[in-house]
Amino acid sequence: MSVPPVRSVGLRVIEEDVASLIADAMFALSAPSRVQILGCLLDGPLAVSEITARLGMEQSAVSHQLRVLREAELVRAERHGKRRLYKISGDAVHELLTAARHLTGKSRSAGSLGQNAAMDG
């Protein structure tokens, strides 16, 4: 894993409130099951039942993990009739997942974060 060195010129301090929001997002990404759920959502909006089928997880576990992701504003829920569809909240989340996958050295392996994995790297 190669991370560019921090340069002392132009080094910025991250304000406390912003640092807190970043830490919340990183906490939400700290569980592999939540990262897998986000990977499923890279292909588009899904209902809880569709996520459980793809990942083989219990519905209650997926719902709990989605709540954590929603609270961190990484996913949004939209009502479609009686169903609630979950989707990634924006391009920044997609970029963050892509960058994180790149740091692992697995940026070209399909299936690790959704079917788009092979195209992103």
What letter does residue 14 receive in the DSSP assignment? P
Angstrom distance (rounded) from CA 80 to CA 101: 31
Count of structural domains within the chain: 1
Q: Residue 4 domain-assigned?
A: no
Most confidently modeled range among 13-17, 57-61, 100-104, 113-117? 57-61
Q: Residue 3 domain-assigned?
A: no
Q: Residue 80 domain-assigned?
A: yes
Q: Residue 50 domain-assigned?
A: yes
Contact partners, residue 16, CB within 8 Å, separation at least 6: none
Q: Residue 99 domain-assigned?
A: no
Angstrom distance (rounded) from CA 63 to CA 80: 17
pLDDT value, residue 55: 97
CB 55 within 8 A of CB 113: no
**Which domain CATH number covers 35?**
1.10.10.10
Mean pLDDT of 26-46: 93
Query: For residue 82, what are the domain limits?
Result: 16-89
| For residue 81, pLDDT beyond 60 | yes
Q: Residue 71 domain-assigned?
A: yes
Share of the chain above pLDDT 70, in %: 79
Q: Residue 109 domain-assigned?
A: no
pTM of the model: 0.74
Q: Residue 57 domain-assigned?
A: yes
